[in-house]
Amino acid sequence: MTTATEQAPDLYPTRTATPVATPRRDPVVWSPPGTSGPISANDLAGYDRDGFLTVDQLLSDEEVARYRRELERLVGDPEVRADDRSVVEPTSRQIRSIFEVHRLSEVFAELVTDPRVLGRARQILGSDVYVHQSRVNIKPGFGASGFYWHSDFETWHAEDGLPRMRTVSVSFALTENFTTNGSLMIMPGSHRTFVGCAGQTPADHYRDSLRRQELGTPAPEDLRTLTDQHGIRLLTGRAGAATVFDCNCMHGSGDNITPHPRSNVFLVFNSVENAPGEPFAAPGRRPGFVAARDFTPVG
């Protein structure tokens, strides 16, 4: 088991003058074949191939309604708005994200230990897991901006020190995802290549990057190559659906000019055997509400 004190070798160089692409050096599914869990063998093979899988109705309508009420409560709470963990949209001044939501809210905390969720995370990562990051994202429509293309692992490796690709995200849709309201786009199969990014990470970069990411996004020619190889999948579906995706999927989303708001809960599980040391390409650690330093296993 890797501990936080010894620094692992840098298998995935990034934030360099001339970025390079590195083939993935880690498994996608870490549990041995045949390990039991909520994901079927067929779905797990699809996850291994594409880097993601979707669960059409992970949450019931009642659960969705409950989580939406809780989200509204948080967004309307002046204390939450004033909290460092809330990220406010630069133009509209509306709350765009609230981090560490599983600690801020007992209601959202339940999702972390839910066997439908935790079971999938353990099955993919082949070990006990802890929450590296959690948040709710809100795109209110009428022009809310999207997220440019990125691999989450690129940032978590560079700025948080996650050594290996042994991390999985679960995004729960609290609203319907249409083709028109800035839904998630993923390049299936892109998780097999680590695309290094140009640039040097300034101190406290997270303050800007959570609002609008520029550093840590691939060059146009790399995006063109990935698109030619893998295509782009737009993930639509009803509220209550979940997307489970590998930390190194190239993904992004467009803006949302429709009146259909989009909101989701986002949980990131990391293997306890993949605890981060120091950042690989940043002058200092990000705060704990963005990148946890408490590696206590969930459940």
- Which parts of this chain interact with a copy of itself (CB under 8 A)? 142-143, 145-146, 148-149, 178-180, 182, 185, 220, 223-224, 227, 232, 234, 252-260
Which CB, 145 or 243, lies closer to a copy of itself? 145
Note whether 177 and 258 are within 8 A (CB). no
Residue 262 CB burial class (10 angstroms; 0-12, 13-18, ≥19): buried
CA–CA gap between residue 269 and residue 246 (Å, rounded)? 10
Which CB, 33 or 220, lies closer to a copy of itself? 220
| Minimum gap (Å) between residue 146 Cβ and a copy of itself | 7
Which CB, 4 or 257, lies closer to a copy of itself? 257
- Reported as type and span, the H/E element at residue 72 is helix 61-75
Which CB, 180 or 200, lies closer to a copy of itself? 180
| Minimum gap (Å) between residue 233 Cβ and a copy of itself | 9
CA–CA gap between residue 85 and residue 2 (Å, rounded)? 28
121 three-class SS: helix
| Minimum gap (Å) between residue 1 Cβ and a copy of itself | 39
**Is the torsion defined by CA of 271, 277, 280, 283 positive or negative?**
positive
76 three-class SS: coil
79 three-class SS: helix
| Minimum gap (Å) between residue 223 Cβ and a copy of itself | 5
| Minimum gap (Å) between residue 156 Cβ and a copy of itself | 21
- Reading the block at residue 86, the tokens are 């809330």
| Minimum gap (Å) between residue 75 Cβ and a copy of itself | 17
Which CB, 37 or 254, lies closer to a copy of itself? 254
Concatenate the DSSP letters of all residues of 123-183 into one string. Answer: HHHTS-EEEEEEEEEEE-SSSB--EEEE-HHHHHHHHH---SS-EEEEEEESS-B-SSS--
Which CB, 149 or 206, lies closer to a copy of itself? 149
